[in-house]
Each structure stands twice: as C-alpha cells, then as structure tokens.
Amino acid sequence: MVLPDLIYTLSANYDLADIATVGMAVTGQTSAIDSAGFEYPGKAIFNPSVRVYPIQNLELGLQVYNLFDTFDLRGNGGIADASVNPTVIGGAPALGRTISASVRYNF
C-alpha cells in the first residue's frame, strides 16, 4: 500500500464587483514510497472556475477539473503484479481534464 506523507487542498475565490467570481483550487500530494521501495512522485491538480452574473438571479458557471491533464495516482496504490515485465502498478488515477458548465436561476 502507498500513502503519501501529505495530501493537501488550497482554494481561493475573487469577486469582481457584482459581475463575476473567479476561483482556483489545487489538490495534491507529496511523493510516496511503497513497501518494495518504489517511489511515486507527488503532483498537484489545478481546478479553475468562473461564475458570471449577466442579470439579476442568473448565474452562468464554467469549471475545469485537472486543467493541465496531469496523470497522478491518488490514494492507495502500489505494485499489482511484479512477476510480469513490465511490472503492473495498481492505483486510482486522477480523472483527466474534465470541463463542466452550469446555469443557475434563483427565484
């Protein structure tokens, strides 16, 4: 099993008057070493967002997960099968770049 020493999340938003809100969230982890001595590098995933308020009670949003499409193993991982060449590594990779949009109307 591989567990990093530190898993972190940083998040910030900035309001541009009453017109828009821009934000950035970063999630990451430090490198981890498994029981066989293999080291898995730590990486960070960047997640920007923007919300625009064109008229009263209407919000348009755009969110991007993994902006730079970074490959990163998250959570438990390690050697799944060392008897084959190349060695099979198990883990839960972060999702690739994912873009979503939203429309919210408050009444």
- Confidence at residue 77, expressed as pLDDT on a 0 to 100 scale: 57
Closest CA to 36 of 66, 77, 95: 77
Counting beta carbons within 10 angstroms of the beta carbon of residue 2, is it exposed (0 to 12), middle (13 to 18) or buried (19 or more)?
buried
Residues 2-42: tens digit of each pLDDT: 678 899 999 999 999 999 999 999 999 898 877 777 787 88
Closest CA to 72 of 38, 34, 32, 100: 32
Q: What is the mean pLDDT of the chain?
A: 86
- Confidence at residue 34, expressed as pLDDT on a 0 to 100 scale: 72
